[in-house]
Structure formats: structure tokens, C-alpha cells
Amino acid sequence: MPDEENTKQDTDRDARVFALYEQLLEMEQRLIPTGLHVFGRASSAGEQADLFKMIASFDRPEHGIRALPQEIVGDAVRKFLDRGSEAAIRFCEGHGLGPELTRPVFVLLETVSTKLKTNGEVDSLIRALRGEFIEPGPGADIIQNPDVLPTGRNTHAINPYSVPSTAAFVRSEIVATSLLERYRSENGRFPEAMALVLWGLDNIKTQGEGVAQALWLLGVRPVRDALNRTTSVEAIPLGELGRPRIDIVMTVSGIFRDLFSPTVQLLDKAVRLVAQLDEPLELNYVRKHVLEQIKQEACTPDDAAVRVFSNAPGNYGTNVNFMVMDSQWEREETLGDLFVTRKCFAYGRDSQGRAIEGREARLAMDRALSRVEATYQNIDTFEIGLTDVDHYFEYLGGVSKAVEKRARAKPAIYLSDSLSREVKIRSLEETVRLETRTKTLNPKWYEGMLKHGFRGVAEIENHVSNTFGWSATADAVDDWIYTEVANTFLFDESMLERLRDLNPHSAHALAQRLLEANGRGYWDADTEVLAKLRDISRSLEDQLEGVA
Ligand code: BEZ
Ligand code: MG
């Protein structure tokens, strides 16, 4: 073999080994909940080590606190927990980091540590039931904002006029850019239209990062009025933006609609502003699509520019999760149709300034979704991910399924991880794999759950069913995932015994869900595997019916 080819093979191999190493590191460093919160109980020291590591790894420029470098943060936190702040500061000094840099970090950790020891949840609940005053506290992610402690306070939200905050807008540029670059690297061009999911609680936690990402994709920046309220937007000139403006379809939760009414107006205003800019159509996809639609359907410019959708006033949720969990569908497209039925209510203001407050706009939503090439949701917390709750698949999965039928092509589906050191855009499939490896199939995670007995088994089953939700809505689950779930929880005899004893209902539901995954074509399993599963399911059923 010529030398050149040898060298190329070596380089390829090195690149593959390095990519593998990076993936392993990503999994190792991922923070996962290792058990459920028990109301009224303070967390244990063991649970705190990982949390402290994350808190110490987060830059807080607004408080003059720099993150500890990755190479020493683990050891420094261990030192802090074993021997206290001074020992940890000396340890860092030994690694060339002066006390002026590290003291603020350990002062913060001490405060967090003290606050974690107190837990006023039960007390506050009783006082609240008596109608007494409960001290307010911010609602946020504990790593981003440790001021959420102590728990047991009256969580307050946010002033919607402050959204997006300056910091959130700055941070979101790189997320929007990385998202578009990821799509471009896979498709050779930018997407003309994307669908975004916006949630209320997430935008409270991040001061509007999801909102800011939408504005960046459109190529506009927020403008504050004389009262410092974000009530308007201005276009970022194309020369400065350096790329086309992307057409954005926003599906917002009922909670977002209720909490962020001025923000809903802002997003709608942003789309209408962009649609009116006199710019080349290949650099302004909003304008391109609005003009196309007016021409094709003889509709008004107002109708062609509707992009902010939510439930009918007073309604919440997509119900896609209920339909999936109850196995109440035959064709997958029903799930996407249900999403549109629930979410096709337009919000904003028309060109005459008249409020549109949840006007049914099914045709407008169908049209807007028919152009979508990528769907996206921002994930901003380590506490709740794709498989922890059924809401991610009901929203992001639901909208993706709706796009698939209307655009006659499956969209690229992305998620971001804006809490990590570096902004990371992952495909849905990558995120499902990462969640499965770090949670559902990770002994550290499931043993943590099993300590909670009955509820813990129910959580394991929930994770498998939520994973199944990603098969139903997006076909995003590899066969090996179902195979390993079966091996880990049902084909391991001692594990099956534990699940049987703790919660036979959930163990049975788990076996049934795996059989359903196979039955619906999401899991290509061997005949013997299926026979074994049916046996297990039957014996659990007998146990539940008191036959065995
Ligand atoms: C929200 O915060 O908007 C939200 C919370 C849970 C499920 C769906 C949406
Ligand atoms: Mg498959």
C-alpha cells in the first residue's frame, strides 16, 4: 500500500477514535437526576457533589464569578466537600489559580450548601393552606440561578416586557448560527423555513433565550421603549447578518401565551416587519413565502404572514401525548393532524393594529408548515430532558409529524443544549441516544429511581414510553435501544424480580410497550425475543389478576 494511503487510513482511524472519545466524555460529564425529589426532604451530600461541580463550571460574568477550569473542577469540589473552602482555595492555588479568582466560586458554593440544608417546603405548604404570606423566590434552573434556593417559596415568574434580556439575546446568536450551520453542513444550504416550539417555563428560566433565538433566525433585534420595555424590533441589515432571514413558524404553549402576551405580540410584529422589507427574495424567505402565498391563493398579506400559533384561548396542550400513551391511533399522521387541530389558533395583530386573539387559522398553519424543512426546540435545563416527560414529544414530535405530511418530507429535527460550556446542536436521534445512555440504561440513574420503590419503577416505564413517543412521532429510536431496554429490565432475572415485587403494574406496562413498539414496526426484534416478552407479560398479568 502506498505511503499516502497508509497515512490517510491512520488519520481516518485517529479521527474516529477521537470522535468516540468525545462522545464518551459527553456522556460521562452529563449531569443527570439520580432519584426523585421527596417533598420536604433536603438533598443528601452524595447528591450534591455533581450539582456543585456544575455550579462551579458555570460562568457568571454578571456576578464577577469565573467557572473553574474543567481539568480541576471535580477535584476542587471534592476538596471543598471534604475539607471546606480554604482547603479548596489552596488546592486551586497549587494549580496556578489565585484565591482572588476562586474565592467567589467557593463563597457561592457555601451559600448553596447552607441553603440546601434547609427545606421549608412542608412548612410553607401548611402556611399557604392557612392563607399566610409566603416569601417569594425566582423560578429558574438551579445551576443558572442558585438564588432559587431555599425551596418552598412562592415562585414568581418574570416581567414579560424584559424578555429577551440583553444577556439572553447575546447568548442566542451563537445558538441560532450553530443551528443554521448544522443544517447547512447536512444539506448544503440554509433551511427556508423552520418550526420552533416555545414554552413558558423555559423562557422564564432563561429570560427568553427561545424568544431571542427566534428573533435571530428572522434577523431582527429587540428595541426597548422609553420605559425600557421590549415592545418593538428592528431589522438587522442583511450585510451585517451575512445570511438569509429564515421563515419561522412558532408554536407556543398555552402557558407561554398566557404569561408572555406582549412577547407573542413582539414575535408576530417581527415576522410582519421582515415580510415587508424590500430585500432580494433569496435573502428574505419570509417575504418570499408571503408573496408566493398571496399570488397562489389570492389571500390578504395579513393572512399570509400569520406565524404565531397556540391553542384556542383557555386551552392547553396538544393531546398528542395522550393519544400515544393510550395507543389510540392507527396511522401516525393522525398525531400530526391532532397537533394542528389543537394548535391552529393565530395570535398577534393585523396591519390595521387589530388584535388577533386566538382566531382559528387552520389553513394558514397548514400552509406555513408545508414549507418547513427543520424543526427545533431549545433545551435549557439538566433536570428535564426528552425522555423525562411526554411534553417534548407531544410538541416537537407533534409539529414534526404535522410538517412531514404537509411538506411531504420529514423535517430535520434539532435540539440545543444551551447550558453546556459550548453551545451544542444535536439531531433528535443523537439526543435520544444520549438520553437513553445517560438515563434509562444507566445503572446510576435507574438504581437511583428504584430506591423510590413503586414510583421508581413507574418512572422507568415512563421513560421507555416517552422514548416510544419519539418512534411514533419521528421514527427517531434505534432498534438497539428497545433491545437493551428488554435486556436490562425484563430479561435479567433478578431485575425482573425486583420490578415484579415493587410495581408489577408498571413492569407489565413496560413489557406491553415493547411489544407495541415491535407491533407498530419501530423495533425489529427476533422471534425468540418476542416470545420471551410475551411470556413475561403474561406472567405479570397473571400476577396482577392474582392467578399466579
Ligand atoms: C410551558 O412551560 O410552556 C410548558 C410546560 C409543560 C408542558 C408544556 C409547556
Ligand atoms: Mg427503526
DSSP line for 98-167: -HHHHHHHHHHHHHHHHHHH---HHHHHHHHHTT----EEE---TTT-GGG-SSSSEEE---GGGPSPHH
| Most confident option among 65-79, 377-391, 463-477 | 463-477
Residue 435 has pLDDT above 80, yes or no: yes
For the segment 317-326, the average pLDDT, to the nearest whole number, is 98
- Asked whether the predicted pLDDT for residue 421 surpasses 70, the reply is no
Q: Which three cell numbers stand for residue 458?
A: 413507574
Tell me the three state secondary structure of residue 233: strand
Tell me the backbone φ, ψ of residue 379, rounded to 5 degrees: -110, 125
What's the confidence (pLDDT) of residue 295? 94
**Could you tell me if the CB of 201 is within 6 A of ligand 1?**
yes
pLDDT of the residue at 476: 98
**What residues contact residue 142 under an 8 Å CB cut-off, 6+ apart?**
51, 55, 148, 149, 383
Residue 41 is predicted with a pLDDT of: 87
Q: pLDDT at residue 500 above 90?
A: yes
Calpha distance 96→90 (Å, rounded): 10
AA identity, residue 120: G
C-alpha cell at 69: 477550569
- The number of residues in the chain equals 548
CA distance 24 to 3: 32
C-alpha cell at 37: 425529589
- Residue 26's pLDDT band, with cuts at 50, 70 and 90, is confident
Mean pLDDT of the region 171-188: 96
Average model confidence (pLDDT) across the chain: 94
Q: Residue 385: helix, strand or coil by DSSP?
A: coil
**267 CA distance to ligand 1 middle (Å):** 18
Instruction: State how far the Cα of 216 lies from the Cα of 239, in Å rounded to an integer.
Output: 14
- Residue 153: its pLDDT value, please? 92
> Which range, of 43-57, 112-126, 224-238, 298-312, averages the lowest pLDDT?
43-57
Over residues 269-273, mean pLDDT: 97
Distance, C-alpha 41 to centroid of its chain: 27
Residues 6+ apart with CB under 8 A from 519: none
The cell for 218 is: 428572522
CA–CA dist 10, 4 (Å, integer): 10
Whether the per-residue pLDDT at 481 is higher than 80: the answer is yes
pLDDT in tens, 378-417: 998 777 899 999 999 999 999 999 999 999 999 999 999 8
pLDDT, residue 33, reads 76
pLDDT digits (tens, 9 = 90+) for 440-470: 999 999 999 999 999 999 999 999 999 999 9
pLDDT of residue 281: 98
Q: What is the pLDDT of residue 48?
A: 83
The answer to whether 377 and 399 are in contact (CB under 8 A) is no
Backbone angles phi, psi at 159, to 5 degrees: -80, 115
- Between 29-38, 78-87, 434-443, the lowest mean confidence (pLDDT) is in 29-38
Ligand 1, from 155, 255, 311, 383: best to mutate by most atoms within 8 Å of Cβ?
A: 255
Mean pLDDT throughout 506-534? 98
**Confidence band (pLDDT; 50, 70, 90) for 548?**
low
Top-confidence residue, 384 or 233: 233
Written as one letter, the residue type at 434 is L
Nearest to 360 by CA among 343, 339, 337: 343
- Tell me the C-alpha distance between 25 and 30, whole Å: 8
Q: Closest ligand 1 atom, CA of 317?
A: 8
First to last CA, the chain: 66
Residue 413's nearest CA partner among 475, 338, 322 is 475
Query: At 511, is the pLDDT very low, low, confident or very high (cuts 50, 70, 90)?
Result: very high
Nearest to 249 by CA among 183, 288, 196, 310: 196
Q: Please give the single-letter amino acid code of residue 90.
A: R
With H, G, I as helix, E, B as strand and everything else as coil, classify residue 378.
strand
3-class DSSP state for residue 91? helix
Q: Select from 52, 130, 43 the least CA-distant residue to 88.
A: 52
Q: What atom of ligand 1 comes closest to residue 204's alpha carbon?
A: 2
pLDDT in tens, 2-21: 677 778 888 899 999 999 99
The whole-angstrom separation of Cα 332 and Cα 410 is 13
Percent of the chain with pLDDT over 90: 79
pLDDT (0 to 100) of residue 420: 66
Pocket test for ligand 1, best of 199, 203, 396 (most atoms within 8 A of CB): 199
Residues 225-236, mean pLDDT to the nearest whole number: 95
Assess whether the C-beta atom of 77 lies below 6 angstroms from ligand 1: no
Q: Is 255 in the pocket of ligand 1 (CB under 6 A)?
A: yes
Split at pLDDT 50, 70, 90, the class of 1 is low
Whether residue 200 has its Cβ less than 6 Å from ligand 1 = yes
- pLDDT band at 42, cuts 50/70/90? confident
C-alpha 548/C-alpha 368 separation (Å) is: 56
pLDDT for the residue 167? 85
pTM: 0.90
Q: Answer whether 253 contacts ligand 1 (Cβ < 6 A).
A: yes
The span from the CA of 467 to the CA of 523, in Å, is 12
Out of 129-143, 390-404, 472-486, which region has the weakest mean confidence (pLDDT)?
A: 129-143
Write the pLDDT tens digit of every residue in 91-109: 999 999 999 999 999 999 9
